[in-house]
Chain A
């Protein structure tokens, strides 16, 4: 698993990406631009590519390189740079904050296949490259759910888990009659298959910074336009015909499969490390809609779950200082993590 240093990571895609088959959005005309300023936002101190089984995973770090490591995991359709405000607050607590773009997201490779199991494997590879000791982890949304799954199978990796609105529960999927379930599945499956038939030639729609910010705002309706505009300049690239989100156009929200959201919740009681859940109270399209009362019965000994009033799914973006303070207090001093 060799490191692939990328000079300044200014053009990571150009120097290290490999595509098999069709790359619908060749970046020969792409160029990076300086991110739009946002109060408190700080670019990572170190960025590099990690070769994970012939796949390049983009790693982003904030804080002192010699400080104890703390992992930060992003959610679905996000990327590590969405932590540009939150990560520096954690790093200021004395941590080496290590985050990465999940496959298909941010600056990591677009791959042939995507699955949670593959995401877990990539995550484990990043963690193994940083430390063999238990480390704290803060994870949002899908990243939070993935982390519970990984902690259930490999608990030795984590000293503390802070989960940011990333606990799926059955509540979001009400029981429906069998015939209605069949109808919904028929629609979901045929729609997904229609997309797969066309995905070879799919491309993210180009636009101006404002247009991409407006599109993302539909999924992130509570986040400010200024923040969304900055995200375009760190999570998008500027091609000759406009800005595009870097995320693989083969990916889409939703889908179907045998997985059930309540299965994540049932892993919680067995976790041996302290667990802090910080949940939203405002329902959003990107969130699981889980409330603290759904989680409480499943919390292991020594764990906590709080719900932030008037806050949406992106708790760490809406309330970065509050959430960072809660996380740092829960995890404790980094000096206790030194070997």
Chain B
């Protein structure tokens, strides 16, 4: 049975689910896909992880606040994940879909605190194009409960230029002190992930194998 802690990020309350207690070592932080939410139990692929397993509901998803009038960006979800990280100290990440893109950003932005990030398949992995489309200005009806329709709309078309993504990969490699701070387990490879896959310091393995490697890092 998971327990939930509400964290405050600006005017948004974020739900951080503790799926499993551990031995006191580093936490594994799970970041979900677009339109999804934190799992209610620890996934089977992390059963060997020695520390606690926690999972975040991004803004507009799960038990977290649904904002008024949208305004989503991947960068604001990065800040959601960073607020969760601030309560954990250090963490290893598994990001699925949209969560993989956020995990990449967090691994670069907080390179000394993230001890390995696994980028996995999931909803919203592709995101939007590398260059902007014509403005698609529409108002969406509010629905009862999450996920927020604006999150689904805006985060499925947010710009993800490959050379922007690779900057985060290089930040992770340069500042983490790890030989391979990023591991790609995703089978699907949108353009941004293809570019990241070509970077030095990016490994390729299943989630289970990647976590076995990262669990050995102190």
Q: Which chain A residues have a beta carbon within 8 Å of chain B's beta carbons?
A: 19-23, 52-55, 103, 109-115, 117-118, 120-122, 124-125, 149-150, 152-154, 178, 181-182, 185-186, 189-190, 192-193, 196-197, 199-200, 250, 255-259, 263
Contacts and interface: CB of A to CB of B under 8 A. Distances in A.
A250 B8 CA distance: 13
Interface string B153-174: 0100011110010011011001
28 contacts: A20-B68, A22-B10, A53-B69, A54-B68, A55-B68, A111-B11, A112-B65, A112-B67, A113-B70, A113-B71, A115-B71, A115-B72, A115-B76, A117-B154, A149-B132, A149-B135, A150-B135, A153-B134, A153-B136, A185-B171, A186-B109, A189-B109, A189-B171, A193-B110, A200-B9, A257-B75, A258-B160, A259-B159
Given A121-B69, A257-B75, 6 more contacts: A113-B69, A113-B72, A115-B71, A150-B137, A189-B105, A193-B78
A199 B76 CA distance: 12
Given A103-B69, A117-B154, A199-B10, A125 B108 contact: no
A75 B72 CA distance: 20
B48 interface: no
The 5 tightest CB contacts between A and B, nearest first, are A153-B135, A113-B71, A112-B67, A118-B71, A21-B11
Nearest to A181: B167
Given A22-B8, A186-B175, A200-B9, A152 B68 contact: no
A121 B12 contact: no
B218 interface: no
B205 interface: no
Contacts of B161: 258
A190 B109 contact: yes
Contacts, number: 147
A168 to B, nearest CB: 13
A111 B67 contact: yes
A269 to B, nearest CB: 14
A118 B8 CA distance: 22
Nearest to A19: B11
Contacts of A178: 170
Nearest to A256: B75
A259 B142 CA distance: 28
Nearest to B75: A257
A174 to B, nearest CB: 16
Contacts of B171: 182, 185-186, 189
Interface string B94-131: 00000000000100111100000000000000000001
Interface string B169-213: 011001100000000000000000000000000000000000000
A323 B70 CA distance: 35
> Max chain B CB contacts within 10 Å: which of A117, A152, A153, A200?
A117
Contact of B137 (A154, A199, A257): A154
Nearest to B141: A53
Nearest to B78: A193
B10 A197 contact: no
Contacts of B167: 181-182, 185
A200 B105 CA distance: 22
A299 B11 CA distance: 42
B92 interface: no
A182 B10 contact: no
Interface stretch (B17-25, B29-37, B38-46, B79-87): B79-87
B138 interface: yes
Contacts of B111: 186
A196 B79 contact: yes
Contacts of A250: 10-11
B3 interface: no
Nearest to B161: A258
B106 to A, nearest CB: 9
A129 to B, nearest CB: 12
A178 to B, nearest CB: 8
A142 to B, nearest CB: 15
Nearest to B174: A182
Contacts of B75: 192, 255-257
Contacts of B9: 196, 199-200
A22 B11 CA distance: 6
Contacts of A197: 82-83, 86
